[in-house]
Amino acid sequence: MADLEVYKNLSPEKVERCMSVMQSGTQMIKLKRGAKGLVRLFYLDEHRTRLRWRPSRKSEKAKILIDSIYKVTEGRQSEIFHRQAEGNFDPSCCFTIYHGNHMESLDLITSNPEEARTWITGLKYLMAGISDEDSLAKRQRTHDQWLKHTFEEADKNGDGLLNIEETHQLMHKLNVNLPRRKVRQMFQEADTDENQGTLTFEEFCVFYKMMSLRRDLYLLLLSYSDKKDHLTAEELAQFLKVEQKMNNVTTDYCLDIIRKFEVSEENKAKNVLGIEGFTSFMRSPACDVFNPLHHEVFQDMEQPLCNYYIASSHNTYLTGDQLLSQSRADMYARVLQEGCRCVEVDCWDGPDGEPVVHHGYTLTSKILFRDVVETINKHAFVKNEFPVILSIENHCSVQQQRKIAQYLKAIFRDKLDLSSVDTGDSKQLPSPQSLRGKILVKGKKLPYHLGDDAEEGDVSDEDSADEIEDECKFRLHCNNGTTEHQVESFIRKKLESLLKESQIRDKEDPDSFTVRALLKATHEGLNAHLTQHPDVKESGKKSHGRSLMTNFGKYKQKTTKSRSKSYGTDDEEDAQQPPSKEPSPLSRLGRRRKTMKLCRELSDLVVYTNSVAAQDIMDDGSTGNVLSFSETRAHQVVQQKAEQFMVYNQKQLTRVYPSAYRIDSSNFNPLPYWSTGCQLVALNYQSEGRMMQLNRAKFKTNGNCGYVLKPQQMCKGTFNPFSGDPLPANPKKQLVLKVISGQQLPKPPDSMFGDRGEIIDPFVEVEIIGLPVDCCKDQTRVVDDNGFNPMWEETLTFTVHMPEIALVRFLVWDHDPIGRDFVGQRTVTFSSLVPGYRHVYLEGLTEASIFVHITINDICGKSRQLQGLKGLFHKNPRLAASDSNPHSMRKRSLGDRILRRTASAPAKGRKKSKTGFHEMVEIKESVCEPAREPDGVLRRTARSLQARPVSMPVGRTLLGAWPPAPAVAEAAEGKESPPVQF
């Protein structure tokens, strides 16, 4: 970060003085929301990697990793400080640490300004050092930290030594199932000092290396070293060329690898790489599954904006749910630095003529529009200079609209000036390259027929904040005596009644992701919120400005007899339509007829990104329109007009945002919208889970700059993404993936017994996510009682028709008698996979990885996989139509669902033929008609274990309804709800 640069060059004396004070500890007041400050001793641990405090009920969990700190602010800047009475604390004694994925704040007050300055300086120095690291240095540091923390946690009595019993307990925690005799033997070999019977940290490192000796890597080294225990530079070059498919490998390059990774000075002198050095090299970023060249921008950035997927955020300011969570300007800083390039700002009239940002008709907190713009201006181009789109949802009066325009011009200045941008063609959008350093305001424009002299005019009023139909809103009239607690109690009661009423609608399919599921999640979230924040129940606290809480209403069932809800009064023509006649999706999407006043100053700031209503989709072809859809409406268009939608997206931008019923801030599946060329698929960045993992993987490629080039087939011409063979003239890719082994796989994060639980029985599942014809998954057998170094040595094969948009998802599961528990995942774009022997590090886990060998082949003609899909796409259209209707599914018993879940994990005793380490399994392409389970989901049929057929789809993804995965598995995997079925 730019503001950390000055801290990199602090004098050694000043650094050591700060570190000494911080490690000794300082008593500070920790502010908490709605409670009195708590006096705690805060200190930096001896490794300078964690901030800790005591006393704490959290015990070992009372810590903040320096790596997780986003920023440190001086003074009384945070929301919690603002809630305190003015003058209570000296601002020079106050500072705030923002950390974690959800920008949690730790608000601290020292006894004097000097202590605050020491901590701010020390923390920023540590953050600056981390920001300057390359990937290799970071991996080494995190590995060293992991080893040290593992040792300290195993040292139960805190004497700095591990005895044999503590070591046995550590083996169980690390999921190592070795005979006690073997552990004792390695223990004695590592115990070389005079203090026999215990291991120091240095001896523990030796013990850990012995325990971690990789049989798979040792055999690999022997095969390229003529059965010696080391590789020469020439042998290493041969390995890199043959196995890793690297070009231009020179002797100097190999000698540099030896210098970097070899630990033995004797081997370094001989210019050879031993097993420890080879292991370090193979576990380094150079041998990661993700192409290191894709960490930088490598795609053509000179094409029109509509040719790119653009990383987009929904309700960017929110830190949690859509009803009660806090709004923070810092969320814009976080998502922008994560690579997001389109952020949303919901603007409402605020007090004293100052527009505010919050989620309308809810109890989310408000922040000043000015603060939001200043934050965006500061952080928009720190990581990259490609353009940022500011999606303005305008609910303000004309007077405050003018204030919005003034702030935009005064703060962004020349970043808004697009007069010099060269589009090359008046009928095409400019490129990301030509817009570097620019901010595009997405909003309404005054109609051209008004003329340039009109100061204001009427424009249509459609926006995501007011997406819920008028007939589906609460009517809560707050008076001056209403408290927040009363409002929240009212919401909770409404949700309870909604839950009961919606049970009738959802009776046919209890597992479907409908309004009931969303409301249930929100109901649980409200209870959790009120439990965690008891201060909101204070009866004496008045609710200021809560009169907007008039929307979120009673959900009314939509039957075939009731006409679709409209957004305005111009709906007579719709009411006159015969019930049997289904209106086209595009005409149905354009019924909003509300209007609002828009001022000229704000209108003039909108260039290239003019928000238009759905009825204007078939306009005269003018450039620069952005069509916004909620996921509900976009789903209809994707299903019924996929090819036309793709053609539209070749010239204009489309934004898809989550349904307003996702009040728990869950996310929809972005794949169907990417598959039809939608550029701005907006997700709730504050909600972790499967969908955000897919989004993160999608945009990590191309330097994580927020712009990823769409496949050329989507930019010109058209095809049906739902077809059984969408691109018959194009060669397909075959992914041959050998899953070899796993390393340091932890127990599931929600394991019932924590570290004391049983040693895991892991298996690996690999999922291809892309066009419907490509969506499939396969899995290895289960390895019993070994999470430390399980060996699978199994080959999975997949055929991919459009690799440009496909994602490859690696998942590790722990098998148990009634199903499986999620251990970890890593998702990578197909185009970023690199061939050869690669480690797949699981996201968010320090040491956990799986070791694979990747081969990618070009294949032409129809594959056997495609023939197997024929029945799914063409054989029985009636069956497909009925499957798309969730109400056609029969209700499943609990026993059925348990059986489904159990069937999804491979049997523990399943025997598989294992091939030699360097042999690839010969794939026998045997296919059979897909078997359909009672729930309508396609599963692979039983097959020979000696010959694995090419992969078959397991679901009806992108066909009709989007079927949910098993609920328990999805919940365990990322706490993510399944996608909506309409």
Closest-CA residue to 711 (of 824, 798, 826, 830): 830
Q: Token pair for residue 704?
A: 């994580």
Q: What is the DSSP secondary-structure string of 576-630?
A: TS-TTSPPPHHHHTT----EEEEEHHHHTT--S-EEE-GGGTTSS--S-EEEEEE
CA-closest candidate to residue 38, choices 53, 16, 21: 53
- How is residue 873 annotated by DSSP? I
Cα–Cα distance between 716 and 709 in angstroms, integer?
13
Please give the single-letter amino acid code of residue 824: G
| Cα radius of gyration rounded to whole Å, the chain | 29
Distance separating alpha carbons of residues 893 and 197, to the nearest angstrom: 57
| Helix (H) / strand (E) containing 741 | strand 732-743
Q: Could you tell me which residues come within 8 angstroms of residue 347 by beta carbon, excluding any fewer than 6 positions away? A: 355, 356, 357, 369, 392, 393, 394, 395, 396, 400, 404
Given the DSSP bridges, would you call strands 26-32 and 104-109 parallel, antiparallel or unpaired?
A: antiparallel
List, in order, residues 6 or more apart from 607 with CB less than 8 Å away.
418, 440, 441, 624
Decide: 615 and 588 in contact? Cβ < 8 Å. Answer: no
How far apart, in whole angstroms, are the C-alpha atoms of residue 624 and residue 605? 13
| C-alpha of 772 from chain center | 22
d(CA 877, CA 52): 62
d(CA 533, CA 601): 42
Structure tokens at 327: 């709004």
The sign one gets for the Cα dihedral 615, 553, 372, 542 is positive
Tokens of 453: 């002299």
Q: Does residue 728 have a cis peptide bond before it, meaning omega lies within 30 degrees of 0?
A: no
Q: Is 358 a catalytic residue?
A: yes
Q: Which residues pair with 938 in a beta bridge?
A: 932
Both ends of the chain: CA-CA distance in Å?
44
CB 814 within 8 A of CB 821: yes
Token digits for 8? 């990199």
Q: Return the closest-CA partner of residue 759 out of 823, 850, 818, 810.
A: 823
How far is it, in rounded angstroms, from Cα 620 to Cα 625? 11
* Rounded distance between C-alpha atoms, residue 467 and residue 452, angstroms: 31
Tell me if residue 259 falls in helix, strand or coil: helix
Q: Does residue 904 contact residue 819 with C-beta atoms inside 8 Å?
A: yes
Task: Specify which residues 441 forms β-bridges with.
Answer: 390
**Rounded Cα gap, residues 978 and 970, in angstroms:** 7
Catalytic one of 230, 294, 358, 815: 358
Six token digits for residue 635: 């789903």
Q: What residues contact 505, with CB distance under 8 A and at least 6 apart?
A: 514, 515, 516, 557
How far apart CA 334 and CA 102 sit, in angstroms, is 9
Of 99, 294, 314, 379, the catalytic one is 314
The values of phi and psi at residue 611, to 5°, are -70, 125
Which residue blocks in 283-397 are alpha helix, DSSP H? 330-337, 369-379
- For residue 857, list its beta bridge partners: 734
Is 748:774 a contact under the CB 8 Å cutoff?
no
Q: Pairing between strand 938-939 and 94-99?
A: unpaired
Query: What gap in Å lies between CA 558 and CA 564, rounded to an integer?
Result: 7
Active site residues: 314, 358
